[in-house]
Amino acid sequence: MSIGTEEIRSTLARYLDRNPDEADHLRPLSEAVEAGAELTSRKEFNGGHVTCGAVVIDQDGRLLLIQHKALGRWLLPGGHLEPGDLNLPGAALRELEEETGISWHDAVAESGHDVTLVDIDLHTIPANPAKGEPEHWHADFRWLLQVNEPKVVLQAEEVDGYAWRPCTDAPTSKLGAKLATL
């Protein structure tokens, strides 16, 4: 069974219970969930759609960032949901392995804890006329993972490079602040 609206709804509700100050920022996502929008499809452009990212910390407390070719920016590994994805954290693990070669066997939750949803970031994606895509938003569900001595093998089609950076270099200051408390 693939990811459905109910998983997105319940995951969002648990996240907002822990982070009520983010309700206004995530209002477009909440409204889309309540309206029954097809948020798992990368073809949903009436508002946006859900993506999943991996917040990967190594044994030295550094954050893994990849240089995304299409956007020309340093980002977390991650991307769109696929029909075969069984759950949201699994989608993040699949994207991590596709883009960096780090297997889900090597990316683990903090000892004694489940994989943690550390952040949901709602951001605008610019129009891409070459793909026939209008401007839309992504609600990126970001899952915290740890790795020890990872070997990175990049997906050359989408990624130009990678770097292990201080957590303060996270793509958003909101995520950076959350990582600083870990």
Helix (H) or strand (E) holding 32: helix 27-35
* Contact assessment for residue 116 and residue 110, using Cβ atoms and an 8 Å cutoff: yes
Mean pLDDT of successive 10-residue stretches along the chain, which has 182 residues = 88 96 97 92 84 94 89 90 93 93 76 75 91 92 90 82 94 94 83
Q: What is the pLDDT of residue 114?
A: 58
Count how many Cα atoms sit within 13 Å of the Cα of residue 84 in the half-sphere of its side chain: 3
Supply the angle between the helices 88-100 and 5-18 in degrees, to the nearest 10: 90
Q: What is the pLDDT of residue 109?
A: 58
CATH of 5-180, one of 3.40.50.1370, 3.20.20.80, 3.90.79.10, 3.20.20.70: 3.90.79.10
Q: What is the pLDDT of residue 118?
A: 95
Q: What is the pLDDT of residue 70?
A: 74
Q: What is the pLDDT of residue 110?
A: 57
* Contact assessment for residue 54 and residue 95, using Cβ atoms and an 8 Å cutoff: yes
> Which CA distances in Å does 135 have to 121, 128, 131, 155?
16, 7, 11, 25
What's this model's pTM, rounded to 2 decimal places?
0.92
Torsion of CA 178, 28, 6, 125, to 10 degrees: -70
Q: Beta strand 136-146 with 116-125: parallel, antiparallel or unpaired? A: antiparallel
Could you tell me the residue ranges of all domains in the chain? 5-180
Cα gap 35→63, rounded to integer Å? 36
Q: What is the pLDDT of residue 160?
A: 86
What's the per-residue H, E or C state across 53-68?
Answer: EEEEECCCCCEEEEEE
Q: What is the pLDDT of residue 108?
A: 66
* Contact assessment for residue 37 and residue 46, using Cβ atoms and an 8 Å cutoff: yes
* Contact assessment for residue 143 and residue 52, using Cβ atoms and an 8 Å cutoff: yes
Q: Is 6 helix (H, G, I), strand (E, B) or coil?
A: helix
> Which CA distances in Å does 164 have to 68, 100, 125, 171?
15, 12, 25, 13
